[in-house]
Amino acid sequence: MDIKHREVIQWLKEVYGSDQVPPFEKTERSITLLHQLMTVSKRSEGSAKLLAADYANKMAEYNAEGCQYSRWLEGVNVKSSMLSEEGQKGLASLAQTAQVLDVQIPTSTNIILAANHLESEHMQVVNEQEQERGRTCQLLEMSKDLSWKLDEIRSIHKQAEAVWDQQQVVLTKDKKHEYFVKEKCKNYTFDINQYEAKLNHVGMSKNIMHDALCKQWSELQEVEKQVSSLEAKLRSYTLPPDLTLAEVKVQEARQELAAIMNSVAAACNSVPR
């Protein structure tokens, strides 16, 4: 809280007295305008106080002069009771007018000049009041505008808080899911290490892995196709061109097929159950 802000708060407390100060927007612009209004108001109050003090002094002077005039009148045996009722009223009116207009010698010229001066001061005060009223209206408009903007900002803030709460809920769920996935990965890694240790313990080799068996099966299918093709080709010959050579080829193919079948059988038997 800066100096201007403290001065404005103190001035508002003095203005409202025992009443509570109405809430207002505490922005730099509003504080500046209120401080300017406070300065003008205090200046006007100071002028009014000075004028009131001057009037009080004048009143004391007039009372003293009245007492002196009364003593003078008593010295010449003239009293206000000797005047007629109309004369007393005129004298009282003249004295009151002179006191209000701050005229020491109540001549018509002095009264007219004092009245003109008072009218000029009155117009000046009226102009200052109009200016103050304009500033007050401007401050009210600014306050309404700022209040509307503040309500809009509060609405946006509430929406942001709602979105933030939703995001926090989603984030909490994601964290829980992430923790669950990490734990699952740890369990899977532990199981894989255990199974690999068991497979290494029973002497598992790569040639009985699924990929190797599939490859051997594919090779076996190709050999079977070749043997079937060769057998079909041999059957098509009524008189083999070279029977001995044909028997040798067929025997080699059968031996190769038997070796592949034995390898596949051995691989299947070695897989732990």
Q: What is the pLDDT along the chain (273 residues), one digit of tens a residue?
A: 577 788 877 877 777 777 777 777 777 888 788 888 888 888 888 888 888 888 888 888 878 777 766 654 554 454 556 656 666 666 667 667 766 666 666 566 776 777 777 788 888 888 888 888 888 888 888 888 888 888 889 889 899 889 998 988 899 888 989 999 999 899 989 888 887 787 777 666 666 667 777 887 888 888 778 878 777 776 665 545 566 766 777 787 788 777 777 777 776 666 554
Alpha helices in the chain (DSSP H): 3-16, 28-75, 85-101, 108-201, 210-236, 243-270
Pairwise CA distance, residues 273 & 213, whole Å: 16
Report pTM.
Answer: 0.29
